[in-house]
Structures are given as C-alpha cells and as structure tokens.
Amino acid sequence: MSSLSSSKPFEVIRWDAPKKPTAELLTRWLVADGLDVETVTFPVGEKTQELRYVAKQVRIVVSGHLQYAFPGYGVVELYPGDQLNIEANILYDVSNPDGVEAVLLKASDLSEI
C-alpha cells in the first residue's frame, strides 16, 4: 500500500498490490490494530448526510467505488483496498457514484477519547 500524505485532516493509503484484497484480509488487519470493525453497504446512488465523529475514523473499501467529500479540501475517490484515515471532528459526506453496490469496512479509533 502507498500513502498520500499532506496537511489535510485525512490520509489516503492506496492499495497497490495486483490482486484485490478480500474482506477477511482487510478485517484481520483492522482487528490486529485493536479496532472494532463494521461492514457497511452503500446502494447505487446513495449519498449520506454530512457526518462528523468525535473519534478518528478508519475506512477501507472492499468493493465498488466511493467518494468522500471534505468541505474545503475536495473529493477523495476510493477503490477496493484503499484506506482512508480521518481525524476526529472532521466534516464529510460519502456517496456511491457508480452503478454497482459498494461495500466498506468502518472502524473508529477510540484510544484517544
């Protein structure tokens, strides 16, 4: 995986292996980091309201394509295996712009609360 770092309140880590990851592999990684993992499905065309969490968030796309829009920072495109780490108290929304369902692993880092 390769990381795209910046002064933004989020970090994108791109999946760069030739083979797509499995949900089981990605879940094992998050659990090994001490995180509780939830699987979330985004139907075609779904868009969330604006979200904000009090804890750091970790998101990994299992299948499909998702867009995370961060006001003032732009849009991040995520594909299978891509990980998004979001700082606490950051406003964003999520949408599924494609014609296929998207599946996401979602976890919160409660260690700093």
Tens digits of residue pLDDT in 44-91: 999 999 999 999 999 999 999 999 999 999 999 999 999 999 999 999
Domain tally, the chain: 1
Q: Tell me the per-residue pLDDT of 8-36, one tens digit each, with 9 for 90 and over.
A: 999 999 999 999 999 999 999 999 999 99
Domain, as residue range, for 76: 2-112
Please state the separation of Cα 1 from the chain's center in Å: 14
Query: In 3-state terms, what secondary structure has residue 109?
Result: strand
| Interatomic CA distance for residues 40 and 46, integer angstroms | 12
Q: What is the CATH number of the domain that holds 74?
A: 2.60.120.10
Q: Which residue has the higher pLDDT, 82 or 7?
A: 82
Q: pTM of the entire structure?
A: 0.90
**Residue 6: per-residue pLDDT:** 60
Complete edge-to-edge strand list for the sheet that includes strand 102-109 = 2-4, 10-14, 83-86, 56-63, 102-109, 37-42
